[in-house]
Structure 1
Amino acid sequence: MSSEQRKKTVALAVRLTPDEAEAIREKARDGGVTVSEFFRAAALGRKTRSTIDAQVINELRRLGGLQKKIHNDTGGSYSKETADILRAIKDAIERLGRGDLQGDGQA
């Protein structure tokens, strides 16, 4: 246990609805942090440091590359469909960069 963890000895109880609790758990999970870390960051106006954003962006880029390969390998047979998918992937990457998706790395 780190010295930082040993210093955290005070627990606070918070009353939430089941829906609120699940939403908070999901946001913490999406940000790659514990619920405690998420609450501390939100309450103290800090950003959480998420590695998930980078992982998601890399996976979206990989999927975009595979989609482009399919487009090229089929000679553009499904050009409308592949173009739509590539556009959706690009839009998702841009939204992640702006923090518009869950897991935006901010509390």
Structure 2
Amino acid sequence: MTNVTRKNSPLIKVRVLPAEKEAIEENARRVGLSTSAYLRNVGLGIEVRGVLDQQAVVEMSKVNGDIGRLGGLLKMWLTNDERLALFNQQQLQESIVEALAKIKVLQDELLQVVKRL
């Protein structure tokens, strides 16, 4: 008894115009699938998820981790009385504003990644 695989299963041929073929191939490439896998998923009603979505999630996770680490460092620094005693009030205020500005930049970067999705 032989196993049924896609390799030894019947083909479905579809006639398309050259521009349609290019569009289908581009769509498949964009989501990281072969043309056959892309058409099979679309034909079976399976949601086609792109590789870019997965990359964006990884990118957002990294940025979110950076924001968390920066916030944790700021909290640790502000709760360390010995460390705070090394700075005068003006230096302390400038340092806090600078750290918050960096956090804001990271949040904006994360927002841009989300908007790309």
* TM-score with structure 2 setting the length: 0.49
Distance in 1, matches of 2:56 and 2:104, equals 25
Deviation string 1:7-50 (CA, Å, 9 cap, x unpaired) is 03343331132xx54443232123232112212322343334x5
Identify which of structures 1 and 2 has the higher relative contact order when contacts are C-alpha pairs closer than 8 Å and 6+ apart.
1
Cα–Cα, structure 1 residues 21 and 63, in superposed 2: closer, same or farther, change >3 Å? farther
Q: For the aligned residues, what is the CA RMSD?
A: 3.4
- Answering whether residue 99 of structure 2 is matched by residue 75 of structure 1, we say yes
Identity %: 25
Q: Tell me which structure has the larger Cα radius of gyration.
A: 2
Q: How many residues align?
A: 88
Distance in 2, matches of 1:27 and 1:70, equals 38
Unaligned 5+ runs, structure 2: 74-97
Unaligned 5+ runs, structure 1: 96-100, 102-107
- Structure 1 partner of 2:24: 24
Distance in 2, matches of 1:34 and 1:77, equals 44
